[in-house]
Amino acid sequence: MNRRHFLATLAALPLSRAVAQSTPQSAGQSTGQSAARSVAQSAVPLKAHVFGQLPAPGRIRRVFAAGPPAAVLAHVLAPDRLLGWPMQVPPEARAFLAPQVRDCPFLGRLSGRGSTIPLEKLLALEPDLILDTGTVDAATLSSAENVHERTGLPYVLIPGRLSDSPWQLAETGRLLGAPERGAELAREAERLLAEARGAGRRGGARAPRVYVARGPDGLETVMAGSLNAESLDLAGGENVATGPGGGVARVSFEQVAAWAPEVVITQDASFFAWARQDSLWQKLPALRAGRFHLAPSLPFGWLDGPPGVNRLVGLPWLVSRLHGAPVGEDGPGRVRSFHLKFYGFAPERPAFERLLAGS
Amino acid sequence: MPRWPWLLLAALLALAVLGGLAAGPIPLSPVRLLRTLLAGPSAEGQAAMVVWSLRLPRLAVGLLVGAALSAAGTAYQAMFRNPLVSPDILGVSAGAGMGASLAILFGLPMLGVQAAAFTGGLASVGLVTLVARWVRRHDPVLVLVLAGIAVGTLFSAGISLAKVLADPTVQLPSITFWLLGGLSAATTGDLGRAAPLVAAGLVPMFLLRHRVDLLTLADEEAASLGENVARLRTTLILAATLMTAASVAIAGIVGWVGLVVPHAARLLVGPRFARSLPAAVLLGAAFVAIADTLARSAATIELPLGVLTALVGAPAFLWLLARGGRSACCGSKRAA
């Protein structure tokens, strides 16, 4: 083999590397899979995992949120203590946020090797504690411990299932020194959950079969039992996507047609607009029957993205879309009052009418 | 030259087409399938939708992507005088991947993602050929290869950056699925957009088929036979890039096809480009169509096409590596 042949052989390698790299990188999927496991282990007692010594609740002034769900949690409980957002908050979402958090900077997130904030920058922010919420398993616990050991900052990890949100709000409120606010929001969360469960049960003998369309082409979905599909389970819908794997998976359109869902929901506005005029999607009975709904995603997703307490607002909406029954007062008014209660701010009513248009 | 390899390829292709039409989560009996096919695309009902709107377009896109990647791989392997070269040696997949990742990051609709992927693929190869034109002190093939590695790595870094910046619950899975490759979203629209581009690459390649073997000679030798080597090489790069970028834009990164299929085709019909090109086109089309049929019907969820092709391709690659040196087998200098 001469030099040229050798180099050309070398040149063939980037492809193999690219494929090898892209295979295990399904970070979203693996998170979802561990989420599916955690859903299965629902009997585990609820407990905040604390690494390090927490300051007295009254002395917590600066909270760093490790990821988007934690940021939403800290924001609803103690907006003045949130140091910044771990995710990019687009301008249209900021318009729905209270002035004191609207201009909070983007800081980056902490999630093991996927972290986007350097630990030095984290130290420079001088937080009193790091708040994290989501899946609790060996990986997230060891990652939390690692950050605590390297920075000396107290780290709190709160289990993040939607059905446990009353407990999350009360417990985190207590830890952050806002117990009354925590208790008040916990009661409200309890009410929303109970309402959703009750309506789900009343909805009839059989739960409607639902397909959750994600991604720009609508052919990504959340598998039954995963953390991302929690809202659907709570609202009494039957997720059609069952099978191997958990979290997010890709499916074929023929599989969607074979499942024959009665309702299709999505949170992707561009997919929603496209599918409404696409001849293929229009062949699905659910779409022909007008049972295709777009969940709003401002300021945070109603179904997912992030999987935090922001999903509570989506529950009554989902119940009404699944079971056809109107839930209490009018939509925009109800959503606005949720915003006032949880986010401490709400734009005028027309903004909510626009938000709900098409949903 | 025996006729059996061509009969074998035709049989394989027929098998791929029949399998692709018959398999799927919605059961259709052979009689019903035949009746639906005869009734034409305008018929009503679920069977017509499944056959005419889902399986046929997807099958056709699979055949097209397989043919395009294999043809591009055959051309590159002849041009770089090496059987271990793949269509993205000049960074087209990495460029397309970065275009698609950015488009998903910015929330563009599906057509936007496709357009960005196609543009990214062209941009990457464009950059490589510019560098090759600019650096004139070394062997042009060597410069192309090395520039391809560098530019490919640069665009891969862009993909990683897009992944880090993406929303981890919503956008990151989309980017990951795109990079894994797959035809689950394939439509007749995709076919209509990609087929002319693939044809625009395949036709010149076919017309030049007898001259491509000259590239296996040293540049000076080929020039002494009256061949404008630089122009021929540029034409081939342009043709292969168009085909690959169009395939990657609609199917994502489907690895190993363009690397392994040309080699298998040469084993069947011999090293001459004029023969190995059509053989690779047939074999590649059948290979991707069969792999995609498995991808969509083996489980309720889609198995990534790129993973299935890698499962076949990687062992084949290792086998090639092991038997290495003994035959360069792409119309090597010794053969010519």
Residue A40: the pLDDT is: 39
B133: which DSSP letter?
Answer: H
- Residue A43 within any structural domain of the chain: no
| Cβ atoms of residues A62 and A125 within 8 Å | yes
CATH number at residue A212: 3.40.50.1980
- Residue A185 within any structural domain of the chain: yes
Residue A202 banded pLDDT, cuts 50, 70, 90: low
CB contact under 8 A, A257 and B49: yes
Kindly state the average pLDDT of the residues B108-113.
Answer: 88
CB contact under 8 A, A14 and B88: yes
Percentage of chain B exceeding pLDDT 90:
57
Give me the phi and psi of A163, to 5 degrees please: -65, -20
Residue A311: the pLDDT is: 95
Close Cβ partners of B226 (under 8 Å, ≥ 6 residues apart): none
Q: How far apart are CA B209 and CA B74, in angstroms?
A: 11
CB contact under 8 A, B301 and A251: yes
Residue B212 predicted with pLDDT over 50: yes
- Residue A22 within any structural domain of the chain: no
Q: Is A307 near chain B, with CB under 8 Å?
A: yes
Q: Is B253 near chain A, with CB under 8 Å?
A: yes
Residue B228: the pLDDT is: 84
A189 and A209 both lie in a single domain: no
Q: Is A254 near chain B, with CB under 8 Å?
A: yes
A252 and A152 both lie in a single domain: no
Peptide bond into A166 cis (omega under 30): no
CB contact under 8 A, A116 and B164: yes
Q: Is B192 near chain A, with CB under 8 Å?
A: no
Percentage of chain B exceeding pLDDT 70:
96
Residue B238: the pLDDT is: 92
Using the 3D structure, point to which of A195, A217, A249 is the last residue of a domain.
Answer: A195
Choose the closest CB to B176 out of A28, A254, A274.
A28
Kindly state the average pLDDT of the residues A337-351.
Answer: 94
Distance of CA B23 to the CA centre of its chain: 23
A226 and A161 both lie in a single domain: no
A278 and A308 both lie in a single domain: yes
CB contact under 8 A, A258 and B167: no
Closest chain B C-alpha to A141 CA, distance in angstroms:
19
A296 and A242 both lie in a single domain: yes
Query: Taking chain B, what is the end-to-end CA distance rounded to the nearest angstrom?
Result: 17
Q: How far apart are CA B148 and CA B127, in angstroms?
A: 9
Nearest residue to B78 via CA among B264, B217, B227: B217
- Residue A9 within any structural domain of the chain: no
Rg (CA), chain B: 20
Give me the phi and psi of A50, to 5 degrees please: -115, 130
Q: Is A282 near chain B, with CB under 8 Å?
A: no
Residue A324 predicted with pLDDT over 70: yes
Alpha helices in chain B (DSSP H): 4-22, 30-39, 46-48, 56-79, 92-105, 110-134, 140-165, 171-180, 188-207, 209-212, 219-224, 229-251, 257-269, 273-297, 305-323
Kindly state the average pLDDT of the residues A46-65.
Answer: 92
Residue A158: the pLDDT is: 95
A150 and A278 both lie in a single domain: no
Q: Is A257 near chain B, with CB under 8 Å?
A: yes
- Residue A117 within any structural domain of the chain: yes
Q: Is B180 near chain A, with CB under 8 Å?
A: yes
Residue A328: the pLDDT is: 52
CB contact under 8 A, A244 and B109: no
Strand, coil or helix: A294: strand
Written as one string, the DSSP assignment of B42-98 is T--SHHHIIIIIIIHHHHHHHHHHHHHHHHHHHHHHHHTT-TT--GGGGSHHHHHHH
Give me the phi and psi of B249, to 5 degrees please: -65, -35
**Lookup result for tokens 């499944």:** B50
Residue B194: the pLDDT is: 95
**Partner residues linked to A157 by β-bridges:** A49, A132
Kindly state the average pLDDT of the residues A68-72.
Answer: 95
Please, how many CA atoms are within 13 Å of residue B54, restricted to the half-sphere of its CB?
29
Q: Which amino acid is at B214?
A: L
Residue A139 banded pLDDT, cuts 50, 70, 90: confident
Structure tokens at B56: 């046929």
Q: Which amino acid is at A310?
A: N
Residue A25 predicted with pLDDT over 60: no
Residue B210 predicted with pLDDT over 50: yes
Kindly state the average pLDDT of the residues B201-223.
Answer: 87
- Per-window interface: B 114-133 vs A, CB < 8 A: none
A291 and A351 both lie in a single domain: yes
Closest chain A C-alpha to B3 CA, distance in angstroms:
32
Task: Say if strands A263-266 and A49-51 run parallel, antiparallel, or are unpaired.
Answer: unpaired
Counting Cβ atoms within 10 Å, is residue A183 exposed (0-12), middle (13-18) or buried (19+)? middle
Q: Which residue has the higher pLDDT, B242 or A247?
A: B242
pLDDT digits (tens, 9 = 90+) for B229-285: 888 988 999 999 999 999 999 999 998 999 999 989 998 999 999 999 999 999 999
Closest chain B C-alpha to A34 CA, distance in angstroms:
13
A183: which DSSP letter?
Answer: H
A210 and A191 both lie in a single domain: no
Residue A20 predicted with pLDDT over 50: no
Kindly state the average pLDDT of the residues A217-236.
Answer: 88
Chains A–B, number of C-beta pairs less than 8 Å apart: 216
Residue A204 banded pLDDT, cuts 50, 70, 90: low
Written as one string, the DSSP assignment of B139-163 is -HHHHHHHHHHHHHHHHHHHHHHHH
Using the 3D structure, point to which of A161, A195, A229 is the last residue of a domain.
Answer: A195
Counting Cβ atoms within 10 Å, is residue B243 exposed (0-12), middle (13-18) or buried (19+)? buried
Which residues on B lie below 8 Å from A140 (Cβ)? none
Percentage of chain A exceeding pLDDT 90:
58
Residue B208: the pLDDT is: 93
Residue A36 banded pLDDT, cuts 50, 70, 90: very low
Which residues on B lie below 8 Å from A294 (Cβ)? none
Q: Is B189 near chain A, with CB under 8 Å?
A: no
**Partner residues linked to A222 by β-bridges:** A248
Strand, coil or helix: A224: coil
pLDDT digits (tens, 9 = 90+) for A299-313: 999 998 899 999 999
Q: Which amino acid is at A243?
A: G
Nearest residue to B121 via CA among B154, B98, B148: B98
**Lookup result for tokens 């004139």:** B136
CB contact under 8 A, B170 and A27: no
Residue B144 predicted with pLDDT over 70: yes
- How many CB atoms are located within 10 Å of the residue A291 CB? 19
CATH number of the B55-326 domain? 1.10.3470.10
Q: Which residue has the higher pLDDT, A44 or B52?
A: B52
- Per-window interface: A 169-228 vs B, CB < 8 A: 214-217, 219-220, 223, 228
A213 and A352 both lie in a single domain: yes
Q: Give domain limits for chain B.
A: 55-326
Q: How far apart are CA A202 and CA A319, in angstroms?
A: 11
Q: So what's the ipTM on this one?
A: 0.79
pLDDT digits (tens, 9 = 90+) for A161-200: 999 999 999 999 999 999 999 999 999 999 999 988 887 6
**Lookup result for tokens 């988007």:** A68
Could you give the C-alpha distances from B168 to A110, A115, B163, in angstroms and in order? 12, 11, 8
CB contact under 8 A, A18 and B253: yes
Q: Is B152 near chain A, with CB under 8 Å?
A: yes
A106 and A172 both lie in a single domain: yes
Using the 3D structure, point to which of A155, A176, A195 is the last residue of a domain.
Answer: A195
A174 and A228 both lie in a single domain: no
Q: Which residue has the higher pLDDT, B19 or A330?
A: B19
Structure tokens at B194: 């990609």
Q: What is the mean pLDDT of chain A?
A: 84
- Per-window interface: A 62-121 vs B, CB < 8 A: 67-68, 87-88, 109, 111, 114, 116
Strand, coil or helix: A305: coil
**Partner residues linked to A158 by β-bridges:** A133
pLDDT digits (tens, 9 = 90+) for A271-296: 999 999 998 899 999 999 999 999 99
Q: Is A245 left (phi over 0), alpha (psi -120 to 50) or beta?
A: left
Which residues on A lie below 8 Å from B185 (Cβ)? 217, 219, 253
Domain that holds residue A327: 205-356
Q: Is B155 near chain A, with CB under 8 Å?
A: no
Closest chain A C-alpha to B171 CA, distance in angstroms:
7
- Residue A44 within any structural domain of the chain: no
- Helix axis angle, B92-105 to B171-180, nearest 10°: 160
Residue A271: the pLDDT is: 93
| Cβ atoms of residues A218 and A271 within 8 Å | yes
Residue A244 banded pLDDT, cuts 50, 70, 90: confident
A153 and A183 both lie in a single domain: yes
| Cβ atoms of residues A257 and B49 within 8 Å | yes
- Residue A11 within any structural domain of the chain: no
Find the residue in A nearest to B95 (Cα). A18
Q: How far apart are CA A50 and CA A157, in angstroms?
A: 6
Number of domains in chain A: 2
Residue B110: the pLDDT is: 85
Q: How far apart are CA B136 and CA B253, in angstroms?
A: 32
Q: What is the mean pLDDT of chain B?
A: 89
Give me the phi and psi of A220, to 5 degrees please: -105, 145
- Residue A125 within any structural domain of the chain: yes
Residue B221: the pLDDT is: 82
